[in-house]
């Protein structure tokens, strides 16, 4: 029977049983109607469908027959119903299990979104509408962002709201389309904005190109206008007119500078119509203004917007008023670093000059200067030609004779091929006495080709401009059987211009400068060596003009002084006041005697604040009348020497103190030894006095032996005579042995000892005995220099690849000035006159040497006197594998931790058992000791104990068997059993724990860990 037929049969049977008409609300409900018919609803809170409320049936009929996605949550449990259209949106994760499921169970992942909305409707609130709502759901194997448009409507009758009807639609595709459209619009908007910016940039670029084109057009106009002009006035007038009209200025002048007479002359001027010409005006440079002239001499363009308000021209405003100038731009023209002329643009009113105009103005100024200079040269050339033509014939022969005898080389070249017409003896010596006359320069001197000389000849011949050069290399072959030779020459190529103005030849004149060049190179090398020597010696050479006060220093002064100085008082500011007074006194005496002086001063470098020592030596220079006009001297940085001297003095002082103290320490035992010897002579038969005296001698000999052993130890270590017996061991064992050695002394001083160490082994490779010596030394120092009742802390920590062992005390501390030297020989803090602590103070030097031999380091820190000290030894880790349970112990002291316990120590090693017992008693516990297992069992019968500390390797019965037997005795059954043994393998530990032990310690047991374990045990 089909599910639909079955559903109809069931409902029909129910109808027959009730004998009442019924509405078949699940028929024609599609797939979901069929599933609802097939579901066993009797096991749900709803019961059989015929019992469902009519409003639910009606709502379900509405949902099942709708082609729109619809959903119903019914009752307090929000039991779910949905139609075929909604099923298509669910995915296999929920359909068909969602049918009849509680809403929260089905939609847990989005309940924070829909839960409050459902509750609002179920609680009597109005229907809700949610449009384009993001409700992510998991379907088809992954979580999706899904957008819904849905409405929640109450299903209610007279009993109130019974459920929620959901009408929904998956609008994800529409949402994504809208979102894509929105992003597209935003992208188009950005592209439009970018196009707008690009258009603006293009407009600006066009504007700049127009300006550049305008400037280029002006430059071309100036070039074209000046071409062919030979008169300087015409050149200036033409260029200035074009520039002035372009820049719309009132006036442009060109003035030549005469530094010798300190005047300027306006040679050329252009002005707007209606303004007077300034051509021919001459005035003193002082009227221009000192600051303006200084800038011009340094090659800087000077711009002034208003001569009345600018601080550089305010005092000279009347001068500028006479010129009719309120604003100006001056462009200097420098040749060979000397100011030769100025081109100035004037405005009759205040004006702000544009920096973009400067390149054009500077170029025009340079072009005008060159054109004027060229015009002057042309004029000079014409005058020279006229004079030459006038005198040529009568002087030609005389010149030839003079040229031939001249010490400098000379030659005359004719025509564009530069054919030799004349060459004097010096020229022939220069090129090797070869045939020249009638040959072109290339034919006569083929090896010179490519060196630039022939090209210069062509240039001079073509331009008619002379050319000169100095110290230029020339390579020639003076004979066929020798290699080429390099020489250096100074020469002038002077064009020979005939009356018609055409160039017909070139006059060559010069000197062989090879020797001078070699001397120059040697001088430069010498100066370089001198500079290097000054730098290496940290020596500054200086000259002090006493008239002007100006000081000139060598180039390395910055390295020594830490800054540039031009006045001697600037240097004095960095001197120590006391030293400056001495230096001043010595200098005044030297000036009065026209002699020399020397002084060493303390100096603070301004650059970094470091303190230096300078040795100042000065020599007073006097004129013929004995008047001092300058001082020449040197300043040498002698800081290293002074520091070495101070260090030597300090080392010598420490050595003297040490020897004095050594003598004192060695003399101290001699007094009781001498007295004892005399006493033995006086009463040889008094046995009691002999025994007492022998004790005195023994103690004093042991004391002297200890002092001498300390000296020998230090000597052996520092001279490299100590060989380390290296082994790999747990550094905690070193701490345990050191504490064991020093603990009696610590107890006599009533100190509190705190040992902090990790649970896991800390392995190092080294000489165990020597490292025990190191830690013991530090502990003895801490106990010795800490007042009674102090606190001493020993800690071990793992730091990267090092193990740090720190010994901290709250004793007398270390003075800050002594900290850098505490590990050096012959270094000691101040001692009291009674020297109650004794010793030579060699221990820390020995500590540092031994730690260094182990590849480690040792540091010390102290906040000062009475603030205690911390000594830390750093040793390389042998194996960086650290157990997971590694941690630092909390502060556990040797004083009582927790409550006092009754302890029984069982160990056949008498010394080990007694030492452990003494330590535990010091920790506040009651301790009994047995050395055999049988006696221990007998002891338990008569006394009760809280804790048993048992050795495993006991004679006759091992510790594991003893533990098992103790567990069988009622008095010890609940006691804590602790194994303290030399067996450290994992198997041994597991065997002991299985025998009944609660804790397992490997010898040497950590005192801190043992005390910590005992502190957690309560007395029985």
Give dist(CA 709, CA 773) in Å, integer. Answer: 13
Give the burial class of 139: count Cβ atoms within 10 A of its Cβ; 0-12 exposed, 13-18 middle, 19 or more buried: middle
* Structure token digits, residue 781: 């120092």
Give dist(CA 703, CA 697) in Å, integer. Answer: 10
Q: What is the pTM of this model?
A: 0.31
Contacts of 482 (CB under 8 A, 6+ apart): none
- Name the nearest CA neighbour of 501 among 389, 373, 376: 389
Give the burial class of 57: count Cβ atoms within 10 A of its Cβ; 0-12 exposed, 13-18 middle, 19 or more buried: middle
- Per-residue pLDDT averaged across 480-490, rounded? 84
> Beta strand pairing status for 419-423 and 976-981?
unpaired
Q: How many CB atoms lie within 10 A of CB 616?
A: 22
- Residue 566: pLDDT over 70: no
Give dist(CA 274, CA 539) in Å, integer. Answer: 66
- Name the nearest CA neighbour of 351 among 306, 314, 292: 306
pLDDT at position 706, please?
60
CA 222, 225, 230, 232 torsion-angle sign = negative
Of 283 and 481, the structure prediction assigns the larger pLDDT to 283
Residue 14's pLDDT band (cuts 50, 70, 90) = very low
Q: Which tens digit of pLDDT belongs to each residue from 676-699?
A: 677 677 767 777 777 777 777 776
Q: How many residues does the chain have?
A: 1020
- Name the nearest CA neighbour of 328 among 370, 266, 371, 373: 266
Give dist(CA 353, CA 345) in Å, integer. Answer: 10
Give dist(CA 787, CA 280) in Å, integer. Answer: 99
Give the burial class of 169: count Cβ atoms within 10 A of its Cβ; 0-12 exposed, 13-18 middle, 19 or more buried: middle
pLDDT at position 837, please?
47
- Residue 887: pLDDT over 50: no
- Residue 600: pLDDT over 50: yes
- Name the nearest CA neighbour of 740 among 928, 911, 953, 948: 911
End-to-end CA separation in angstroms for the chain: 81
Q: Which tens digit of pLDDT belongs to each residue from 809-863?
A: 999 998 888 888 788 765 555 443 333 444 445 678 788 888 988 899 999 999 8
Contacts of 502 (CB under 8 A, 6+ apart): none
* Structure token digits, residue 123: 């609680």
Residue 954 gets which letter from DSSP? -
pLDDT at position 529, please?
66
CA–CA distances in Å: residue 811 to residues 389, 643, 714, 716, 821 = 109, 33, 26, 31, 19
Contact 596, 619 (CB under 8 A): yes
- Residue 723: pLDDT over 80: no
pLDDT at position 876, please?
93
> Beta strand pairing status for 976-981 and 999-1002?
parallel
H-type helices in 785-928, by residue range?
843-853, 910-922
- Name the nearest CA neighbour of 1006 among 729, 733, 728, 730: 733
Q: How many CB atoms lie within 10 A of CB 685?
A: 6
pLDDT at position 880, please?
41
Of 7 and 300, the structure prediction assigns the larger pLDDT to 300
- Residue 367: pLDDT over 80: no
- Name the nearest CA neighbour of 137 among 194, 95, 89: 89
pLDDT at position 16, please?
40
* Structure token digits, residue 525: 């090398």
The three-state secondary structure class of 223 is: helix
Contacts of 857 (CB under 8 A, 6+ apart): 851, 873, 874
For the residues of 444-458, what is the DSSP string, one character each?
H-GGGTTSSHHHHHH
- Residue 68: pLDDT over 70: yes
Give dist(CA 877, CA 761) in Å, integer. Answer: 11
Lowest-pLDDT range of 581-585, 774-778, 886-890: 886-890
Give the CA-trace dihedral at 458, 462, 465, 466, to 10 degrees: 30
Phi, psi of 160 (to 5 degrees): 110, -165
Contact 56, 63 (CB under 8 A): no
- Residue 588: pLDDT over 60: yes
């Amino acid at each position: 029977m089909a599910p639909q037929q079955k559903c109809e049969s069931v409902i029909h049977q129910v109808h027959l049983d009730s004998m009442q008409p019924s509405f078949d609300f699940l028929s024609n409900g599609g797939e979901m109607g069929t599933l609802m018919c097939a579901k066993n609803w009797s096991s749900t809170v709803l019961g059989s469908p015929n019992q469902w409320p009519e409003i639910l049936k009606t709502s379900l009929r509405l949902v099942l027959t709708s082609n729109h996605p619809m959903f119903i949550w019914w009752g307090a449990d929000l039991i779910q119903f949905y139609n075929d259209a909604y099923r298509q949106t669910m995915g296999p994760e929920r359909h068909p299990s969602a049918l009849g499921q509680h809403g929260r169970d089905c939609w847990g992942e989005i309940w924070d979104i829909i839960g409050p909305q459902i509750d609002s409707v179920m609680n009597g609130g109005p229907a809700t509408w949610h449009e384009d709502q993001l409700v992510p759901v998991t379907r088809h194997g992954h979580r999706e962002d899904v957008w819904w448009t849905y409405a929640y409507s109450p299903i209610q009758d007279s009993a109130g709201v019974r459920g929620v009807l959901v009408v929904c639609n998956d609008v994800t595709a529409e949402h994504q389309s809208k979102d894509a459209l929105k992003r597209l619009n935003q992208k188009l908007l950005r592209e439009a904005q970018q196009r707008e910016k690009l258009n603006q940039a293009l407009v600006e670029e066009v504007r700049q190109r127009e300006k550049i084109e305008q400037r280029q057009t002006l430059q071309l106009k100036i070039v074209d206008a000046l071409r062919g002009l030979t008169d300087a006035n015409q050149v200036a007038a033409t260029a200035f007119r074009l520039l002035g009209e372009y820049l719309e200025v009132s006036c442009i002048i060109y003035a030549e500078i005469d530094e010798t007479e300190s005047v300027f002359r306006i040679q050329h001027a252009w002005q707007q119509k209606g303004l007077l010409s300034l051509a021919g005006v001459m005035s003193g440079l002082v009227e221009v203004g000192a600051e303006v002239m200084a800038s011009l001499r340094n090659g800087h363009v000077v711009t002034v917007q208003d001569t009345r308000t600018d601080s550089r021209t305010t005092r000279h405003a009347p001068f500028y008023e006479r010129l009719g100038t309120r604003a100006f731009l001056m462009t200097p023209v420098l040749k060979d670093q000397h100011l030769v002329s100025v081109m100035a643009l004037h405005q009759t009113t205040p004006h702000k000059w544009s920096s973009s105009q400067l390149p054009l103005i500077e170029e025009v100024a340079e072009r005008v200067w060159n054109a004027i200079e060229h015009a002057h040269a042309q004029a000079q050339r014409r005058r020279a030609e006229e004079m030459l033509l006038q005198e040529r014939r009568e002087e030609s022969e005389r010149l030839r004779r003079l040229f031939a005898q001249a010490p400098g080389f000379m030659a005359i070249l004719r025509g564009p091929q530069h054919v030799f017409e004349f060459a004097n003896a010096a020229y022939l010596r220069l090129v090797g006495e070869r045939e020249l006359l009638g040959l072109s320069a290339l034919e006569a001197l083929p090896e010179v080709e490519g060196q630039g000389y022939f090209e210069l000849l062509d240039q001079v011949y073509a331009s008619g401009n002379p050319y000169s050069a100095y110290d230029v290399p020339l390579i020639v072959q003076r004979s066929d059987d020798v290699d080429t030779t390099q020489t250096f020459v100074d020469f002038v190529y002077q064009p020979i211009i005939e009356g018609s103005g055409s160039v017909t030849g070139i006059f060559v004149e010069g000197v062989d400068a090879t020797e001078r060049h070699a001397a120059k190179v040697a001088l430069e090398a010498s100066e370089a060596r001198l500079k290097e020597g000054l730098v290496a010696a940290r020596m500054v050479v200086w000259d002090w003009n006493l008239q002007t006060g100006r000081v000139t220093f060598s180039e390395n002064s910055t390295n020594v002084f830490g800054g540039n100085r031009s006045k001697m008082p600037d240097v004095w500011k960095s001197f120590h006041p006391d030293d400056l007074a001495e230096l001043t006194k010595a200098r005044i005496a030297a000036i009065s005697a026209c002699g020399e002086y020397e002084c060493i001063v303390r100096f603070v470098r301004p650059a970094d604040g470091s303190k230096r020592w300078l040795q100042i030596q000065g020599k007073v220079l006097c004129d013929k009348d004995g008047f001092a006009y300058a001082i020449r001297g040197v300043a040498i940085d002698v800081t290293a020497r002074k520091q070495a001297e101070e260090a030597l003095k300090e080392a010598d002082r420490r050595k003297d103190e040490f020897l004095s103290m050594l003598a004192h320490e060695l003399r101290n035992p001699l007094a009781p030894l001498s007295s004892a010897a005399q006493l033995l002579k006086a009463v040889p038969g008094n046995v009691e006095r002999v025994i007492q005296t022998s004790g005195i001698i023994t103690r004093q000999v042991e004391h002297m032996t200890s002092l001498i052993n300390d000296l020998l130890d230090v000597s052996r270590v520092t001279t490299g005579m100590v060989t380390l017996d290296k082994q790999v061991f747990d550094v905690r064992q070193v701490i345990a042995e050191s504490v064991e050695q020093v603990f009696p002394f610590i107890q006599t001083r009533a100190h509190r000892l705190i040992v902090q160490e990790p649970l896991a082994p800390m392995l190092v490779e080294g000489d165990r005995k020597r490292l025990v010596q190191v830690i013991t030394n530090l502990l003895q120092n801490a106990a010795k220099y800490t007042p009674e009742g102090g606190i001493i802390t020993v800690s071990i920590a793992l730091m990267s690849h090092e193990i740090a062992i720190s010994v901290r005390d709250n004793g007398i501390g270390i003075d800050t000035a002594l900290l850098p030297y505490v590990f050096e020989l012959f270094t000691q803090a101040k001692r009291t006159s009674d020297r109650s602590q004794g010793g030579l103070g060699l221990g820390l030097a020995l500590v540092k040497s031994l730690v260094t031999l182990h590849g480690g380091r040792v540091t010390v820190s102290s906040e000062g006197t009475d603030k205690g000290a911390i000594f830390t030894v750093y040793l390389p880790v042998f194996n960086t594998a650290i157990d997971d349970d590694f941690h630092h112990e909390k502060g556990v002291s040797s004083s009582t931790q927790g409550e006092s316990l009754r302890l029984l120590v069982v160990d056949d090693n008498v010394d080990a058992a007694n030492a452990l017992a003494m330590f535990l008693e010091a920790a506040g516990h009651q301790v009994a000791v047995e050395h055999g297992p049988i006696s221990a069992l007998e002891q338990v019968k008569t006394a009760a104990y809280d804790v048993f500390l048992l050795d495993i390797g006991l004679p006759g019965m091992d510790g594991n068997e003893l533990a098992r037997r103790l567990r069988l005795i009622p008095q010890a059954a609940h006691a804590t059993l602790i194994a303290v043994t030399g067996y450290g393998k994992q198997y041994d530990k597991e065997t002991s724990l299985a025998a009944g032990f609660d804790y397992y310690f490997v010898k040497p047991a950590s005192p801190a860990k043992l005390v910590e374990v005992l502190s957690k045990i309560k007395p029985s």
